[in-house]
Structure formats: structure tokens, C-alpha cells
Structure 1
């Protein structure tokens, strides 16, 4: 892998970490319990994760897909 690709990957990774750590939730303060309802465990994880400028703002967006297993 070329050195410039490694540098870009490292910078992108750091930007994602910073973006994730910068997310702030405001609003609903009532704690409602979330109950997991597992329907099918045969599909584990995302089908794929890709980066691209989806909304045309010049910044990379994270996109993932999934499928209904079973």
C-alpha cells in the first residue's frame, strides 16, 4: 500500500473518531427501556460499509446496507 494511502486512511479514521465523539443528543429526557426483539440470528453484521459524498457537501458520508435474513 502506498504511503499516501496509509496517511489518507489514518486521517479518515481520525476524522471518524472525532465526529463520533462530537455527537451530542438533546431532547427526550424520559428513560424508556428498549427491549430487543430478535427475529432472526442467521445474518450477523452489516453487508458492507462504504464511504462517499452522498449529499454533495464535500465531506465523506458513511453508508451501510443490510438484508432481512430468513
Structure 2
């Protein structure tokens, strides 16, 4: 199911949990934030997706998106 997220709505998904970024290349999320998935994980990294929130881009844990 998660692999299909964002396909129908131009990559737009919503954060369903809060997350505080742990590294400079991650985005902090609040419940309800609208995020655009720009690149899903590959074979080496499936749990993190490169996304855009407002004018910022960074990795977000895919299990926090819905």
C-alpha cells in the first residue's frame, strides 16, 4: 500500500505522525503536514523518501505518511 502513496494525487501525501528531524537532510513533520514525495526509496534505502514540505526538501520516514 505504501508504495502506491502519492501516485493518484501528484505525489501529495499527509504526515500522520509528528517527527523531529535527526539530521540536516531530514524534514521535521507535524501531524497533518502536506508533503510532496519527489523520490521514493530504492533497493538500498526503502524506508526514507525524498520529499518537499513548503520550500524545503529532505528525507522523511515513509511509515509516517498516509
- TM-score (norm: length of structure 2): 0.22
- The structure carrying a bigger strand percent of its residues is 2
Name which structure has the greater RCO, CA cutoff 8 Å, separation 6+.
2
| Max Rg structure | 1
